[in-house]
Amino acid sequence: MKLDLTMNDRHNLRFQSIYSGLVPQIARMVPFNDSEVTCILLIYYKYCLQNGTTARRITSAQFVNIVIGFQQLYDMDVVDRIVTLISGGRKYVTPMEFVNYMTILMSGDMERKMEFAYRVYDKNGLGINREIISSSVERFFPGDDDEVLEMRLDMVDFLLLKFDEDQDTVITFEEYRSIVLQQPSMLEFLGPIFPSDETRLVVAYCTAMYSHIPEIGLM
């Protein structure tokens, strides 16, 4: 029986040979069932085939395009940061890492989202400082006239005042978490990271992640 009618018999058999044993192992570690993990890995496998019929991993360059397409995210600094966090800075992405990415993409767990968002913003692993905030705010207010520059400075000061509870000019994860739990709308305070609910629903339909489609998941 073919798993995917868009692939020929040889590719279907090779997929089952490589991934059939991996599916239940991964499903035990993620909030997807066996069928959903299979569908996610089929996507991964199709990207592998672009690298040759014997390829077993997708490249980080391919993953960049996946992040842009799946999330409708066009801030390349954020895209590159997501790719680095998922791949560990390597030139490829493993099947487990790809499934983990899909877990983050589809998650409604605020703790998981806060942890990932903070890591995206914290580029150097030393906390979110004024330089990081200024760089993000600059994209909110493009231009170089005096009024724009003043707006940027005001926004940077406002964000530091709001998040930096001990006023040491560095926003720690604990400080960030404290504010976001009180005001969830501040989750992406330095720019978009996660897809919209509408985009997540499209991804769920396209990847047959039925547990993430409300009218199907409740059946």
CATH of the domain at 91: 1.10.238
- Domain-embedded: residue 163: yes
- Provide CB contacts within 8 A for 52, sequence distance 6+: none
pLDDT at residue 84 greater than cutoff 80: yes
Query: Does residue 119 share a domain with residue 85?
Result: no
- Helix 95-106 × helix 34-49 angle, to 10°: 120
Is 187 buried (19+), middle (13-18) or exposed (0-12) by CB count in 10 A?
Answer: middle
- Provide CB contacts within 8 A for 63, sequence distance 6+: 83, 86, 87, 93, 98, 101
Query: Does residue 179 share a domain with residue 92?
Result: no
Query: Does residue 88 share a domain with residue 40?
Result: yes
Query: Does residue 17 share a domain with residue 69?
Result: yes
1 pLDDT tier (thresholds 50, 70, 90):
low
Query: Does residue 206 share a domain with residue 103?
Result: yes
Query: Does residue 176 share a domain with residue 71?
Result: no
CA distance linking residue 94 with residue 100, whole number of Å = 10
- Domain-embedded: residue 33: yes
What is the predicted pLDDT for the residue at 208?
Answer: 79
Query: Does residue 90 share a domain with residue 17?
Result: yes
Q: Which of 39-48, 57-66, 175-184, 195-204 shows the lowest per-residue confidence on average (mean pLDDT)?
A: 195-204
39 pLDDT tier (thresholds 50, 70, 90):
very high
Give the residue numbers spanning the domain of 119.
Answer: 115-186
Task: Dump pLDDT digits (tens) for 113-129.
Answer: 999 999 999 999 999 99
What is the predicted pLDDT for the residue at 218?
Answer: 43
144 pLDDT tier (thresholds 50, 70, 90):
confident
What is the predicted pLDDT for the residue at 216?
Answer: 53
Task: Dump pLDDT digits (tens) for 173-185.
Answer: 999 999 999 999 9
Task: Dump pLDDT digits (tens) for 98-112.
Answer: 999 999 999 889 999
Q: What is the count of structural domains for the chain?
A: 2
- Residues 188 and 71: beta-carbon distance below 8 Å: no
Query: Does residue 78 share a domain with residue 25?
Result: yes
For residue 58, which phi and psi values (nearest 5 degrees)? -95, 155
Query: Does residue 134 share a domain with residue 61?
Result: no
Q: Which DSSP symbol is given to 32?
A: S
Query: Does residue 88 share a domain with residue 58?
Result: yes
Q: What is the average per-residue pLDDT within 10-22?
A: 92
